[in-house]
Amino acid sequence: MYSSFHNHGINAIFFLIEEINQAKKRRTHVPSTTSISYTSSDETVASPSSALIASILNFYLDLSWRILRSCFLCVQAILILGINMADRVATSDKSKSVREEALTYAYILLYIFLSSAQIFFNKWVLSSKQINFPYPLGLTLLHMIFSSVLCFLLTKVFKILKVEEGMTAEIYVTSVIPIGAMFAMTLWLGNTAYMYISVSFAQMLKAIMPVAVFILGVAAGLEVMSCRMFLIMSVISFGVLVASYGEIDVNWIGVVYQMGGVVGEALRLIFMEIFVKRKGLKLNPISVMYYVSPCSALCLLIPWIFLELPKLDASGPWRFQPLVLTLNSLCTFALNLSVFLVISHTSALTIRVAGVVKDWVVVLLSALLFADTKLTVLNLFGYGIAIAGVAAYNNHKLKREASKTSSDESQEAEKVPLVASTSMLHSKIGV
C-alpha cells in the first residue's frame, strides 16, 4: 500500500510541476499584441485577431485540463493512503458497501476542494482591488458571526442538526473560552499573513505545525519526548527552513503573522486535548462550532473596534460587496461542515492525511493563480522534506492510537470473566 502510494503520489506531483513549467513556457510565446502582421512585396497585411483569441482559449483550456488531471492523480494517491489508514483505526472488520465507500470519497474530495477554495477565496478578497476589503480582522469576525447565526438556526430553529448535551458554565469558562480565543487568534493572524506573503509560502510555513503542537504538548504533560519524535521534529523543521531559504521574496512581517497563527492553532489543539481528556466531554464539530463561534466572535470584536474600525471610518462610506462577503462566509461554514462529514464517516486522522494533499494542491495551483507566487526547486525540495516528516508524525500517532485501542479492548475482555464469576458466586451463596 505504501509503495503504491509513494509511486502514485511522487509521479503525480512531479507531473504537475512539469505541466506548470511547460505551461508557463508556452504562455511566454503567446503574442501580447492584439493583431499579427506579416510583410508582403508591396503592403503589410494584418491577420484577424480571432486567430489570436482562439490560440489563447486553446492554451488555457489545455492548461486547465492538465491541471485537473494532475490534481486528480495526486488526490487519488493520497486518498488511497488516507482511507486505509483511517479504516485501521476507526473501523472494524466489517466491509463497507459500495454506496458508503463512494460517499466517503465524495466527502473527502469535498473537504479538499472547499479547503483549497477557501484559502484562495480569502486571498482574493483581502488582496483584490475590485473587492477593496483589506481587513483580515473584519473578515474573520464576519465568518464567526455568520457561523454563530447559522449554527443557531440549524440546531435550535430548524433542528436539522443536533448539539450534544453536557456543557456546563464551568466547562465553558475554563475550556471553551480559551479554545475560542486561540481559534480567533489563528484565523486572524493567518488571514493577515496572506496580505504580506504568497499563498504557497504560507502553506509551507504551516508544515511546522506538528513541531509546535509537540513542544507545547510536552510542556503541558500530554506528550513525552523520545528519540524518534525528536528526529521527526528535526526533519520537519529542517524541511521548513530549506523551503524558507528557497523563497525569493521573504516578507518577515508576513512570516511573523503566519508563525503566530501556527502557535495559536497549536494552543487550540492542546486545549482541545485537555478539554477531552480532563473534562471527559466529547463534542462533534457542529457542537464545537455552536459553542466556540460566538466566543471567537467576541474575542475578535474587541481588537476590531480599536484596530480596523478607525481605518474603515477614515476611508469614507462603507462600500463593500455583500454578495461576495456572504459567499465567502458561506464557504467557510461549508468547510467546517465538510470536516464534520469526513470525521463522521472515517476518522480525524483522515482529515490530517487529506490536509496533506490539500496543501500540495494549494502550493502548486497558487503558482498559476497569483502573480506574487514564484516557486523554486529549493522551495519544493524543502517542502517535500517537511511533508515526509509530517507523514512520519501521523504514522506515529496512528500506531499509538491503535495500541491504545487494543489495550482498552483487552481490559474490557478481562472484566467480563470477572463479572461472570462474581455473579456465579452470588448465586451459589444465595445472594
pLDDT in tens, 22-65: 554 554 444 443 333 333 334 334 444 555 555 555 554 555 55
- Which pLDDT does position 1 carry in this prediction? 46
pTM over 0.75: no
Q: Give per-residue pLDDT as tens, 309-330.
A: 998 888 877 777 888 999 999 9
160 found inside a domain: yes
Which stretches of 29-48 are DSSP H helices?
Answer: none
**Can you tell me which residue has the cell 507566487?**
373
AA letter at 361: V
Chain mean pLDDT for the chain: 75
Q: Give per-residue pLDDT as tens, 338-393.
A: 877 777 776 666 777 777 788 888 888 887 777 667 778 888 888 889 988 888 88
* Spatial contact of 297 and 329, defined as CB atoms under 8 Å apart: no
AA letter at 188: W
Judge whether residue 178 has pLDDT over 70: yes
AA letter at 367: A
268 found inside a domain: yes
Q: Please tell me the distance from the alpha carbon of residue 99 to that of residue 96, in angstroms, as a whole number.
A: 8
Backbone angles phi, psi at 38, to 5 degrees: -140, 155
250 found inside a domain: yes
7 found inside a domain: yes
**Can you tell me which residue has the cell 493577515?**
192
Q: Please tell me the distance from the alpha carbon of residue 164 to that of residue 170, in angstroms, as a whole number.
A: 16
**Which residues, listed in sequence order, are joined to residue 44 by a DSSP beta bridge?**
39
Q: Please tell me the distance from the alpha carbon of residue 363 to that of residue 392, in angstroms, as a whole number.
A: 21
Q: How far is CA 410 from the centre of its chain?
A: 35
Q: Quote the percentage of the chain above a pLDDT of 70.
A: 68
Domain that holds residue 90: 2-28+55-399
Q: Please tell me the distance from the alpha carbon of residue 128 to that of residue 324, in angstroms, as a whole number.
A: 12
- Which pLDDT does position 104 carry in this prediction? 78
Q: What is the 8-class DSSP label of residue 34?
A: S
Q: What is the 8-class DSSP label of residue 45?
A: E
- Which pLDDT does position 393 carry in this prediction? 85
**Can you tell me which residue has the cell 456543557?**
167
275 found inside a domain: yes
* Spatial contact of 228 and 286, defined as CB atoms under 8 Å apart: no
Backbone angles phi, psi at 95, to 5 degrees: -80, 140
* Spatial contact of 313 and 71, defined as CB atoms under 8 Å apart: no
First CA to last CA distance, the chain: 57
Q: Give per-residue pLDDT as tens, 222-268.
A: 888 888 888 999 999 999 988 888 776 778 999 999 999 999 999 98
| Tally of domains in the chain | 1
380 found inside a domain: yes
- Of 98-112, 220-234, 415-429, the poorest mean pLDDT is in 415-429
Q: Please tell me the distance from the alpha carbon of residue 172 to that of residue 179, in angstroms, as a whole number.
A: 10
Judge whether residue 423 has pLDDT over 50: no
- Which pLDDT does position 345 carry in this prediction? 72
- Which pLDDT does position 273 carry in this prediction? 82
* Spatial contact of 138 and 312, defined as CB atoms under 8 Å apart: yes
Q: Please tell me the distance from the alpha carbon of residue 338 to that of residue 273, in angstroms, as a whole number.
A: 21
44 found inside a domain: no
Burial degree of 127 (CB within 10 A; 0-12, 13-18, 19+): middle
What is the grid cell recorded at 321?
A: 460587496
User: pLDDT tier at 188 (50, 70, 90 boundaries)?
Assistant: very high
68 found inside a domain: yes
Other CB atoms within 10 Å distance of the CB of residue 149: 15
- Which pLDDT does position 40 carry in this prediction? 38
